[in-house]
Structure 1
Amino acid sequence: MLLYVLRRLLYVLPVALGVSLVCFLLVHLAPGDPLTAVMPIDATADQQAEMRAAYGFDRPLPVQYGLWLWKVAQGDLGRSIATGRPVASEVGRAVGNSLILAAAATLIGFTFGTFFGFVAGYFRGSALDKAASALSVFGVSVPHYWLGIVLVIVFSATLGWLPPTGAGPDGSGNWWPDLDHLRYLILPAVTMSVIPMGIIARTVRAMVGDILNQEFVQALRAKGLGERSVLAHVVRNAAPTALAVMGLQLGYLLGGSILIETVFAWPGTGFLLNAAIFQRDLPLLQGTILVLALIFVFLNLLVDVLQTALDPRIQRG
């Protein structure tokens, strides 16, 4: 097991390096000069050159990448062009908020998606299967930003039960695990959970149906094992696949929640990316994309290790 983990870590290093290169080049391929957002319209040529030298934009791209990567390795992601604050602190606070939202959405989606998937797979062809399958199709089909607007209209504007935007009553952008802040988490978390719920439900349904048709399940039943014990074996065999899907969905939610965080004004990475794009804040955009990509890479590593711990056949394969 230890050798497998070390081998996977060796695979992660070149992937992380490639991710950093792609993140660096993507933002440089965008047209225009990002410094035009902060330079005055009447800036002289000397002022423009001084500003470009301050941010390192006057050097060749390979040199810029090398210097940027060296600073990143030391935890320095630069300073935001728009605010002048360190990018690392801005991204760290946003990642924390996005992680809270993504974890809550993944927990909701995984819980209900697994339940619906097992019900649909275990009672395949029944009315329960059709109802659970319809819910999973709805989850992967409905536009989540539209669903978020509908939930705000119903539960905030009409009923007044839940707050529509923000992360807390004080408007500070910092979420705390108490009842007042929890009310701000419910609507965005439920909105974000519908897609992973549908994907996990469909995956688990297919896995459970396939496992129930395998010979070892028939042998367990032939030995007189009760349905509860048979279901426990089915759950154990379906768990690695469900865990892999959950890990991937958590990574997707961390980096793909721009619309949801914008609709609910949730101060996470999606909201930060949206602001960085419109402000053409190159260091902030680079830092946010890099951190999200590295989190996704290491989430895949963690899922691989957990899958191997649950199912040693993966390691032998």
Structure 2
Amino acid sequence: MGSYIIKRIIISVPLLFIISFLTFVLINLSPLDPNEVVLQAQGVPQITDELLEQTKEELGMNKPFILRYFAWFIATLQFDFGNSYINGKPVWSLVGPAFLNTLKLTLVSSVVIIFMSILLGVICALKEGKLIDKSVRGISFFLTSMPSYWLASIIIWYVSVKLDLLPTSGMDSYKSYVLPVVVITISYAGIYFRNIRTSMLNNLNQDYVLYGRASGLSEIKITRHILRNSLQVAVSIFGMAIPIILSSTVVIENVFAWPGLGSLSVNAILSRDFPIIQAYVLIIAAFFVLFNTISDIINAAMNPKVRNDL
């Protein structure tokens, strides 16, 4: 098992390196001149060639591309993403707090999504073809087909405006989590529970279930074994749920005025603040690689056959 973990980590390192390079390249392919963006943010009334050259030297843009990349890459390993083009503050001082706020929302939402997915998946699998199974699948299909911003707007209007029960924005207390978590859960639980249901149904037709019932095992014990085997398939799905939710909170954060990474990235894109955009893309990509590696390791721990495939 130890050798498998080492191999997975070794594979992840060059992948992160490639992602960082592509992130740096894509930002530098922008038709906008970063030096001009900085001068415009500083409110310079007239941008001259002399000012552009001076700014280029201050930002290190006069150095060769490959040297700039390696200098940036080494700095990012120390969580130094440079300074914002707009306000001159260190990028991590802006990204760090926003990232923690988004991570809090993501973790709470992920726990609720996993719990609801397992619960609904088990119920629908055990009641296959019955009214409750058809009703849950129909309602989930209807809800997940709704755009998240539209669903969030409807919930805000009814719960916060009409009933005046919960806050519409910010993260002042635990109540601020309720509406964003509800919207995120509705958007994703309806997708993940179907995977649990499918896996449960596949295991229900296995020989060990028939032998267990013939041996007189209770339905609770049999269901427990089925669920454990079904979750092996779902580990990869749930393992990737956190980075997927983390990267998709942009709309939710802007609707609920959540001071997170999504809101910060949208503002950075609108203001062309390239260092913040680079940090956002790299952090999201790193989370995808990290949780993909973690889910593979958990799968290997649960199923020894996976270890031999690497």
Contact 1:136–1:202 (8 Å) recurs in 2:
no
Alignment of 1:191-270 (within 5 A): 191-270=183-262
Query: What does residue 267 of structure 2 align with?
Result: 275
Q: CA deviation at 1:143?
A: 0.8
Q: Secondary structure at the match of 1:84?
A: coil
Query: Which residue is equivalent to 2:54?
Result: 50
Q: Are positions 1:71 and 2:75 aligned together?
A: yes
For residues 160 and 57 of structure 1, the distance between their equivalents in structure 2, rounded to whole angstroms, comes to: 52
CA positional deviation for 1:60: 3.1
Corresponding letter in the other structure for 1:270: G
CA distance in 2, matches of 1:76, 1:88: 7
Is 1:185 matched up with 2:189?
A: no
SS in 1 for 2:142: helix
Does structure 1 conserve the Cα–Cα contact (< 8 Å) formed by 2:125 and 2:198?
Answer: yes
1:117 aligned to 116, 121, 129, which one?
Answer: 121
Structure 1 residues 57-136: aligned runs within 5 Å: 57-136=61-140
**Partners of 1:155 and 1:161 within 8 A in 2:** yes
Q: Distance in 2 between matches of 1:23 and 1:138?
A: 37
Matches within 5 A, 1:22-33: 22-33=22-33
Name stretches of at least 5 consecutive residues in structure 1 with no aligned partner. Answer: 169-180
TM-score (normalised: structure 1)? 0.92
What whole-Å deviation, never above 9, does each CA across 1:232-276 have from its counterpart, x for those lacking one?
001110112222211212111111211111111111111111011
2:306 corresponds in structure 1 to 314
Tell me, in whole angstroms, the C-alpha distance in 2 between the residues paired with 1:44 and 1:247. 51
1:38 — aligned with what?
38
What corresponds to 1:171 in structure 2? none
Question: How many residues are treated as equivalent by the alignment?
Answer: 305
8 A contact 1:167–1:185 mirrored in 2: yes
Q: Residue deviations 1:119-166, cap 9 Å, x none? A: 111211111110121233134311111111111111111111111011
C-alpha separation in 1, matches of 2:225 and 2:254: 43
Write the deviation string for residues 82-127 of structure 1: whole angstroms up to 9, x where unpaired: 1211112221111111111111111111111211111111211111
Partner of 1:172: none
In structure 2, what is the equivalent of residue 290 of structure 1? 282
Deviation, structure 1 residue 210? 0.6
Aligned partner of residue 291 in structure 2, secondary structure: helix
Do the aligned partners of residues 6 and 269 (structure 1) sit closer, same or farther apart at CA in structure 2, a change above 3 Å counting? Answer: same
User: Which residue number corresponds to residue 5 of structure 2?
Assistant: 5
How far apart, in 1, do the equivalents of 2:13 and 2:210 lie?
Answer: 44
Name the CA distance, whole Å, in 2 between partners of 1:91 and 1:288.
8
Match for residue 137 of structure 1 among 141, 146, 153: 141
SS in 2 for 1:95: helix
Distance 1:269 1:240 in 2: 31
SS in 2 for 1:303: helix
The answer on whether the counterparts of 1:196 and 1:246 sit within 8 Å (CA) in structure 2 is: no
Instruction: Tell me, in whole angstroms, the C-alpha distance in 1 between the residues paired with 2:150 and 2:37.
Output: 31
1:74 shift after superposition? 2.7
**Hey, what's the Cα distance between the residues in 2 that align with 1:157 and 1:215?**
54
Give the share of equivalent positions with the same residue, in percent: 30
| Whole-angstrom CA distance in 2 between matches of 1:262 and 1:160 | 20
